[in-house]
Amino acid sequence: MTSRGAVPAPAASRALGASGVSVAAVPFRAVSLHPAVWIAGWGVGAMLLQSLELRWLAVLSAPTFLLVGRYAARDALRLVRRARWLLLTVAVLFVLATPGERLPGPVGAAGLTVDGVAIAAEHVLRLLLLLTTLAWLLRALRHDGLIAGLHCLLQPLGRLRDRIVVRLLLALEYVDNEQLARDWRAWLHAGGDEGTEKVRLAVVELRAMDRVALAVCGAVALLAAFPAVV
């Protein structure tokens, strides 16, 4: 049984020789569009977030956090917890290093400014939006969908994409294993037999609707990257 949009197994299966990679249609949690579209859409959204001011980030964050809390709360909290030091560093850096009008009271006497707090809040909120929506995306696609989408998006790299995707797949499996993740020093020193294990990658066929959606994502990304051209 294959997922919606998946290439039938006999047509999709192929061996990649010494790389130890076998590409085949494998089931993953079905979504209405190709996983590559969801990944590209998230990437475009991340680009657009960079141009939003604090007030619009605040407006966007309310429904986003509610939806993520409903469907991917545990995954989002785990990502935020792992990025807590990054969030704290960004907040402290901008709060303490941004000049401007000082806050009233003792905090202002300590050097904290209105601009610093606003900029710190903007960057932290932007990072939280990226992390929580990424958790939602990973929750929806699962590993198979994520790998299928990246395998499609990295097609211009040729055979190199197989190596990239396999390393990502192994890293995801390692991160999901909490016991192994805690014992990372043993993992680094452990010997490995490269190429002795076959890895199966999901291959999903791009439909016309998926190609149109990817083209729209590419156009929006170009407009976001080069706004002066428009």
Token pair belonging to 122 = 């903007």
Alpha carbons 23 and 37: distance in angstroms, whole number: 20
Mean per-residue pLDDT, 40-69: 93
CA distances from 89 to 45, 120, 133, 176 (A): 24, 10, 21, 26
pLDDT digits (tens, 9 = 90+) for 92-142: 999 888 887 887 877 777 778 888 889 999 999 999 999 999 999 988 888
pLDDT at 77 over 80: yes
pLDDT at 26 over 70: no
The region of weakest confidence among 45-59, 151-165, 180-194 is: 180-194
Please report the pLDDT score of residue 179 as a whole number: 52
pLDDT over 70, % of the chain: 71
Determine if residue 204 is left, alpha or beta; phi over 0 gives left, psi from -120 to 50 gives alpha, anything else beta: beta
pLDDT over 90, % of the chain: 37
Alpha carbons 191 and 79: distance in angstroms, whole number: 29
Determine if residue 103 is left, alpha or beta; phi over 0 gives left, psi from -120 to 50 gives alpha, anything else beta: beta
Alpha carbons 41 and 153: distance in angstroms, whole number: 12
* CB contact at 8 A, 26 and 7: no
* CB contact at 8 A, 98 and 113: yes
DSSP 155: G
The region of weakest confidence among 17-21, 144-148, 152-156, 198-202 is: 17-21
Mean per-residue pLDDT, 81-99: 91
* CB contact at 8 A, 12 and 185: no
* CB contact at 8 A, 135 and 78: yes
